Chains A and B, each alone.
Chain A
């Protein structure tokens, strides 16, 4: 049997995408579409008093102007979480289609629908919006102070949520004589996903229903949110997701699909399209939570962690979106990564007048790892232990099992990954060689590990559905509710299907598009769940399909099912290995049989009641030019244990992409705001310093393959983990090079200039 899983087969969509033939949302939109442009607020907080639409409506080509005074009163949630039938577990419904109470600079207050883009843009510029301004707050801790501007009435001190973890007795344990106290505050920035394709969607009405085609990661979830926002039954909404140009979590939210759908209903069901500009994508979609973390560790001189305190303040921005789940995930990693008996952990998600923070690759873990792994190196500096030695001593031990998720660390993953990373970068020799350098140009190496888990069980629903249909020639189509968003799951799934059914990969056709009218239910691409979760429904459906096929084979060959097998598209008699017939012949006969015609299909929903740890590390080597306040990244390697690799080449590419994000996170990316007005300052790709490949060294990805026992394919998360440990590894390399412990990222020349000046490394 030719096995497909484990081979670097060519992406199933490679040809379509490389030749430009693949159709994305905008490619599919008919030219007759009306164009929707949004009028965004130009204040950070306040109320819209009035909107004068007269001039806008007079512009030739403007069809309709709709304002915050026109929208239906259906508050809705936007987070791309599975719906919960328990009201206590439902997402916060704090959104309106357009807002009278504007809560950040860029909030939606009106739309202009016009025959073309120019008229729509002119219309937006011609709107006269009158505001009643209120004080605003951008800083997360200032937002929690008494008397801070109140952003949502129901949330005193702007606290959306607070959760904690208590273990042992922190206060008492920290009194132990001889302990060394290490304390740090660590700040991470607001960053944006910067997927290539901006979010866009179009909508029209057909047979009394509204159809939305959207660049989204979560078609089934968005369908539900559109229904909620418009106040119509969910079956009246049809959501179609074609190829998309990346999402990274931004499109794991309902973005403008509800607004676009509503606009169509307001112009008689005509086709309308709404495409975000890059500037809008930065501000009025979602961003990564900026999180400020305070950590105190009480450590024995031998490196034993005796007591630890953790506080994280998560800047939620103006709306709840994914809300508290993000910082809570980060906090959840803290007691597990370096187990300690005495813990006090608290985290808060706090509304501010910034863009709404939602899901972004890593979901709280890049922030938690920047703080946590920077802090570990600060401990090492304080007690004179090497970063490697400390980690070997304190990291989660083999056999560790989390009481809540039941996740277990089955293998010596951390040491295996660190050993591989060290060898790749010649870490130990360099670490010693780079200590105590002098002079303007210095080099350093750094390491950071990361904690990650796969999918969302047991916090949320995990199920996945799959359908397979056999063609007359023995090839088959399959579809799932899980979405291809560029990460390559269509290819990985095709490989899984080929092996599980017993057909060659060339006979497997993936239905890439999700259409909620047709596609079986699945929640979509997030939580690095696709390969793990999809694997369950593919395996289960393949087993059901094989059973049907072998039963038909029994009818056609008269051999008992127990003596039949399907291998490589051939029906085999197991006892002697004879090929009885091809699957194609079987399917042809089955479909056209005058006695018993059957089309061969299977469809199942898999229940997934497990989750899996997916760990690894990053090693970085930097050269710091002290007078120029610049860091040059010389080398970076990520090592992952994501279980058995389904497609090694795709896995490597996935890691490269995440490493690139981590480099930007560590060194250059940050969305900035004017303190005086709350206005975003750099919401474009020139002023927002997304790293380019000219800023990257050769990215090295390596793997340790410990098969995950809970997965039918031995696989676990790889989507988000690559973005989690790169930034603290770079930070720790700078520490090794210069002795400077930087307490924030991105570590830009501006940051280094202040730090070096303060330390006397440079003088003016």
Chain B
């Protein structure tokens, strides 16, 4: 039994925007795997809810003419994992979201909810950061697009404005083409867990597989919001594919990450795991790209 004041069910995106304007205090709910938990904990007890879960137009993955991958915000984790476009162009995202919770959560949980919740541990977020995803929001003024790095304002707070709902997550062709990625979820168990640290690396190698043209690495739980380790990225760029590059890349992530000390894990432990994860994810990404270390 949930303590809710009212539930408004949106019939279309336009209707959702109208409901948002009519009930500015109301909480948007999609799959509910975060919102209902928070309500039960008392954090959002007694709220009004606007459910957008019935908006099928926000489900599914499409490839636009310019090659942009467009993921509808209500696409569930399990659909993303099984989507042919994701599997073809950015399989690491499918692999990352396949590590969320358990099967039931992956069926009900959506990628839009995962990002709008604003938490650093979201399994989708580090990969989306590593691919410079763009968040699409629809509001009374129409569509607004925000780079994911700007969308996250602080822990638990994202840039959704009055009357807006998140409608899609976009990844440009330039960002994903010829890249190979690997995600390492470091958690205390192999299922039903949140990340102690999430590490997503992707690389683009020279056609001969001997040089790193581009490397990207993003972390979850290495700071209050997901973040990129750009020092490491710059360092790897143009370097030969080698154990030394992997090691230097891994060590360099320490320049940009800032995990906190908490009862869940100590800062020095998270730093250690971040370096080791970056090294392993880099090597695996290179292997997938056909490079030989």
Question: Roughly how many angstroms separate A762 CA and B265 CA in the complex, as a whole number?
Answer: 17
Encoded as 1 (CB less than 8 Å from any A CB) or 0, chain B from 38 to 60 comes to 00001001100000000000000
Please tell me if the beta carbons of A689 and B193 are within 8 angstroms of each other in the complex.
yes
Query: Known contacts being A121-B3, A122-B3, is A695 close to B273, with CB within 8 Å?
Result: no
Q: B269 to chain A: which residues have CB within 8 Å? A: 629, 749-750, 753
Please tell me if the beta carbons of B265 and A118 are within 8 angstroms of each other in the complex.
no
A435 within 8 A of B: no
A687 within 8 A of B: yes
Encoded as 1 (CB less than 8 Å from any B CB) or 0, chain A from 665 to 698 comes to 0001000101000000110011101011111000
Total A-B contacts with CB atoms under 8 angstroms apart? 63
Please tell me if the beta carbons of A668 and B1 are within 8 angstroms of each other in the complex.
no
Query: Which residues 90-121 of A have a CB within 8 angstroms of B?
Result: 116-118, 121
A146 within 8 A of B: no
**Residue B188 contacts which of A118, A748, A762 (CB distance < 8 angstroms)?**
A748
**Nearest CB of chain B from residue A439's CB, rounded to whole Å:** 15
A245 within 8 A of B: no
Please tell me if the beta carbons of B189 and A125 are within 8 angstroms of each other in the complex.
no
A266 within 8 A of B: no
Please report the total number of B residues contacting A with Cβ < 8 Å.
27
Q: Which of A117, A682, A692, A693 has the most CB of B within 10 A?
A: A692
Q: Which chain B residue shows the least CB distance to A681?
A: B263
**Residue A750 contacts which of B2, B42, B266 (CB distance < 8 angstroms)?**
B266
Please tell me if the beta carbons of A686 and B193 are within 8 angstroms of each other in the complex.
yes
B271 within 8 A of A: yes
Question: Roughly how many angstroms separate A694 CA and B187 CA in the complex, as a whole number?
Answer: 12
A764 within 8 A of B: yes
Please tell me if the beta carbons of A691 and B186 are within 8 angstroms of each other in the complex.
no
Query: Known contacts being A125-B42, A629-B273, A753-B269, is A687 close to B3, with CB within 8 Å?
Result: no
Query: Which residues 244-293 of B have a CB within 8 angstroms of A?
Result: 263-266, 268-269, 271-273, 275-277
**Residue B186 contacts which of A628, A668, A682, A686 (CB distance < 8 angstroms)?**
A628
Please tell me if the beta carbons of B188 and A689 are within 8 angstroms of each other in the complex.
yes
Q: Which chain B residue shows the least CB distance to A753?
A: B269
Q: A156 to chain B: which residues have CB within 8 Å? A: none
Interface of B is mostly: loop
Question: Roughly how many angstroms separate A627 CA and B189 CA in the complex, as a whole number?
Answer: 17
Q: A117 to chain B: which residues have CB within 8 Å? A: 1
Q: Which chain A residue shows the least CB distance to B251?
A: A764
B190 within 8 A of A: yes
Query: Known contacts being A116-B1, A125-B42, A674-B263, is A692 close to B192, with CB within 8 Å?
Result: yes
Please tell me if the beta carbons of A764 and B271 are within 8 angstroms of each other in the complex.
yes
Question: Roughly how many angstroms separate A117 CA and B45 CA in the complex, as a whole number?
Answer: 13
B194 within 8 A of A: yes
Query: Known contacts being A118-B3, A125-B42, A629-B273, is A749 close to B188, with CB within 8 Å?
Result: yes
Please tell me if the beta carbons of B193 and A672 are within 8 angstroms of each other in the complex.
no
Encoded as 1 (CB less than 8 Å from any B CB) or 0, chain A from 686 to 725 comes to 1101011111000000000000000000000000000000
Please tell me if the beta carbons of A628 and B190 are within 8 angstroms of each other in the complex.
no
Q: A672 to chain B: which residues have CB within 8 Å? A: 263
Could you pull out 8 A-B pairs where Cβ atoms are within 8 angstroms? A674-B263, A694-B189, A694-B191, A695-B190, A750-B266, A753-B269, A762-B272, A764-B275
User: Apart from A118-B2, A629-B273, A753-B272, what are 7 other A-B pairs with CB-CB below 8 Å?
Assistant: A125-B42, A628-B277, A668-B189, A692-B192, A695-B190, A750-B265, A753-B266
